[in-house]
Every structure is written in C-alpha cells, then in structure tokens.
C-alpha cells in the first residue's frame, strides 16, 4: 500500500512562543537538577598573595596576623578574630598560633602538618590552636623551599568553616602564598582548589546542555 506523507501544519506565532516558554522551563529544570546533583552550594573563596609591593609579609612583624577571609591588600594589623593566624619566629623555633585552629601532628602532636594540592580538609589530622613550623632538635614536618598547604578551621559564628593557607618554609620562616576557605560551615574544602562555578552558572550550563540536545533532536 502506498503511504502518503503528511505535512505538519505550520505553527502560529502564539504556538511558537508557548513552545519556547516550555523549552525554557524544561531547560531551567534541567539546570536545577544538575545543580542539585552537585555537592557544592557554598562559595569557595581564594585570595592569592601577589609578589612585589602588594605582597602581604606574614612573617614580619612577627605579631602580624593573617585573616583568611580578607585579601592581601585588606589585612588589618590591629584586629584579632576567629580567622586570624599569627606567626611567631624566635632564634630556635617558630610557630603559628591562631584564634581558629590548625591541623597538627608529628612530634608530641604539636607540629604543623602539610597537605598536597587537591587533598580534602579536614584531612583527619588533629586540630590545635598552636602548631610548630620548626623547632631546633626536632626539625619540621613541612618541607623546606616547597609550597604546601596548612589545613585550618575557624568559626565566624555559624559553626566551623574549613580552609587552607598555602605556605613555603625557609628555615624558621613561613611565607604565605595564598589562602582560601569554604563559606558554608561543616563543608570540607580541597587544598588549593579552583573555585567552583556558582549555582546560577550551573543553571546556565544545564540549560545550554538541554538546549543543545534538543537542537540535535527532531521536534
């Protein structure tokens, strides 16, 4: 039997608008699903410590604290807070003490421990308010001349937040290269992370992916 080919009637402008609205709603729903499937809703904040005149010198003077919630250019010299970390350097040892806490271990459980880029903080190490970077007769848990990350946590009033400080040790002294933290309390963070896109960006990605699939599929 000979089959006849039926031609689809042309859509009116009103029908086309309704179809576009429907597809936009479906794309948004897909984006929400993609965002909902991720573990990151909070904002990961990272501050580099630029070289040159804008560099924040964490080790001098030795009572200068590092506030990990502020950029290098905004570090206050006269404010204590839960996100402040203070480096102290003496002839035979150096340490970091803080209003927050640092991951520590090693000899007597008192030395600063480092983690590599990409490792999750908390790493499972103990936390303490004081950690030695170096002590004569014991040495250091931190390699010399090699960038590494210190795991930290602090409470801004809503619960423990996790973060990191990228440091390099030269003798007794630690230089801060960058720092970052997770804004949501209780959410682990990767050391040296590349910040994740925000929820709106993920929605846009989801919408674009769905739109691409629909363009490749027949109506």
Boundaries of every domain in the chain: 18-38+199-216, 44-190
> At CB < 8 A and 24+ separation, what contacts does 104-112 make?
104/128, 104/130, 104/131, 105/141, 106/138, 106/141, 107/135, 107/138, 111/135, 111/138, 111/140, 111/141, 112/140, 112/141, 112/142, 112/150
List Cα–Cα distances, 216 to 7, 18, 25, 208, 213, in angstroms: 21, 20, 18, 12, 5
Provide the token pair at 21: 């609205």
List Cα–Cα distances, 139 to 7, 18, 90, in angstroms: 83, 71, 14
Per residue of the chain (219 residues), give pLDDT as tens.
544 445 445 666 665 555 554 444 443 333 333 333 334 445 789 999 999 999 999 987 767 899 999 999 999 877 788 999 999 999 999 999 999 999 999 999 999 999 999 999 999 999 999 999 999 999 999 999 999 999 999 999 999 999 999 999 999 999 999 999 999 999 999 999 754 444 334 333 443 443 344 344 444
CA distance 113 to 148: 9
Return phi, psi of residue 47, to 5°: -125, 120
CA distance 85 to 57: 13
For the chain, counts of helices (H) and of strands (E):
2, 12
DSSP annotation of 139: B
| Strands of 12-125, DSSP E | 44-48, 65-67, 84-89, 93-105, 111-112, 114-115, 120-121
**Runs of H (alpha helix) within the chain:** 13-36, 199-216
CA distance 62 to 28: 52
DSSP annotation of 130: E
Question: Around Cβ 211, how many Cβ atoms within 10 Å?
Answer: 15
User: Alpha-carbon torsion 78, 131, 150, 137, what sign?
Assistant: positive
Under a CB-based contact definition with an 8 Å cutoff, are residues 189 and 162 in contact?
A: yes
Predicted local distance difference test score (pLDDT) of residue 119: 95
């Amino acid at each position: 039997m000979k089959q006849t080919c039926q031609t689809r009637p042309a859509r009116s402008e009103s029908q086309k608008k309704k179809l576009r609205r429907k597809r936009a709603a479906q794309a948004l729903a897909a984006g929400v699903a993609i965002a909902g499937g991720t573990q990151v809703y909070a904002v990961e904040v990272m501050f580099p410590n630029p070289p040159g005149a804008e560099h924040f010198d964490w080790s001098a003077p030795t009572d200068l604290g590092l506030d990990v919630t502020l950029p290098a250019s905004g570090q206050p010299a006269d404010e204590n807070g839960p996100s402040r970390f203070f480096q102290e350097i003496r002839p035979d040892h150096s340490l970091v003490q803080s209003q927050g806490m640092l991951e520590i271990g090693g000899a007597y459980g008192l030395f600063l421990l480092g983690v590599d880029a990409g490792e999750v903080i908390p790493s499972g190490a103990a936390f303490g308010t004081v950690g030695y970077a170096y002590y004569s007769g014991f040495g250091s848990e931190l390699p010399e001349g090699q960038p590494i990350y210190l795991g930290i946590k602090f409470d801004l009033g809503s619960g423990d937040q996790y973060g990191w400080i990228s440091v390099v040790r030269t003798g007794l002294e630690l230089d801060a290269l960058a720092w970052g933290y997770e804004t949501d309390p209780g959410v682990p963070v990767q050391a040296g992370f590349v910040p994740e896109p925000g929820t709106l960006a993920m929605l846009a990605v989801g919408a674009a992916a769905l739109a691409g699939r629909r363009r490749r599929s027949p109506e």
